[in-house]
């Protein structure tokens, strides 16, 4: 029996590659997380200034290793219940990105598949996208291409456009029928799930409010990294039944010494792996 999703929602995920919306917490709780997020990112940036030209500053990558608010979100029972419904009970957090589009800015995400640069097998990871502020058409919500996950891994290329928010500007080479895209609009505290192979994108934020959401990449314990670098991940439910990753510790306090060290180690491994994944040459 499913824990959160009903049969129709599970079927929609299998058929379309995504399902939405589900509610994790109240809008009020999402607002509290958003306030804590803003303070913690400001504190981190004050200590470790952002480098010019960074698409995603370090504090926005794997923030669950740095900050208590993010550690709470990735372990929230409602989100994990939905994830368990599609990938099973032994769940690791592999990666997480804080998607923060400032109001009225040009940042956008081109059509791509999440799995292109992760180097994971099998392709069973699922991304939960939790809204901390409204994610609407005007603010540049995520748009999904239904059924595109069934095409498997598609060829991508790296685009140098500084407005692209992805780490390497990764963009699918194939022509996308944008008219077939489905906008996934979310209110604070709601979340969506999408398959690692589904094509998705998001437009610039044309609203008067920042669009902020946390994208959490969950994997079943049976997944493994195909490259030579041993990566780390966080066990959030069940058991680490296959020992494919070194387990990451939960931060005891925001940006304490242990949290900073764990975060730096994990991002260092991830960067090294992204440059050496053997089969990535096949998608360019």
Q: What is the mean pLDDT of the chain?
A: 93
> Cα(128)–Cα(119) distance, rounded to whole angstroms?
19
Nearest to 248 by CA among 117, 85, 63: 63
Neighbours of 104 (CB within 10 A): 13
* More confident position, 128 or 1: 128
pTM (2 d.p.):
0.95
Confidence tier at 281 by pLDDT (50, 70, 90): very low
Confidence tier at 277 by pLDDT (50, 70, 90): low
Q: What is the set of domains in the chain, with CATH numbers?
A: 7-49+58-277 (2.60.120.620)
């Amino acid at each position: 029996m499913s824990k959160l999703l009903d049969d129709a929602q599970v079927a929609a995920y299998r058929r379309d590659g995504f399902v939405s919306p589900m509610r994790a917490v109240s809008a009020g709780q999402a607002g509290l997380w958003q306030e804590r997020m803003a303070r913690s990112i400001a504190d981190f940036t004050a200590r470790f200034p952002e480098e010019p030209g960074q698409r995603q500053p370090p504090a926005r990558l794997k923030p669950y290793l740095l900050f208590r608010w993010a550690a709470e979100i990735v372990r929230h029972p409602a989100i994990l219940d939905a994830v368990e419904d599609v990938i099973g009970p032994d769940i690791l957090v592999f990666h997480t990105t804080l998607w923060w589009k400032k109001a009225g800015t040009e940042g956008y995400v081109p059509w791509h598949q999440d799995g292109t640069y992760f180097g994971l097998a099998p392709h069973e990871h699922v991304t939960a996208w939790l809204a901390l502020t409204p994610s609407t058409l005007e603010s540049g919500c995520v748009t999904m291409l239904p059924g595109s996950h069934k095409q498997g891994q598609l060829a991508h290329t790296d685009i140098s456009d500084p407005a692209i928010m992805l780490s390497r500007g990764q963009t699918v080479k194939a022509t996308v029928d944008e008219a077939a895209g489905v906008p996934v609009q979310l209110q604070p505290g709601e979340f969506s799930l999408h398959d690692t192979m589904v094509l998705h994108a998001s437009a610039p934020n044309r609203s008067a409010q920042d669009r902020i959401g946390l994208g959490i990449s969950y994997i079943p314990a049976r997944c493994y990294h195909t490259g030579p670098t041993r990566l780390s991940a966080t066990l959030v439910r069940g058991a680490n039944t296959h020992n494919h990753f070194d387990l990451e510790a939960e931060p005891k306090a925001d940006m304490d010494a242990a949290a900073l060290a764990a975060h730096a180690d994990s991002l260092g491994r991830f960067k090294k792996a992204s440059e050496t994944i053997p089969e990535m040459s096949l998608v360019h």
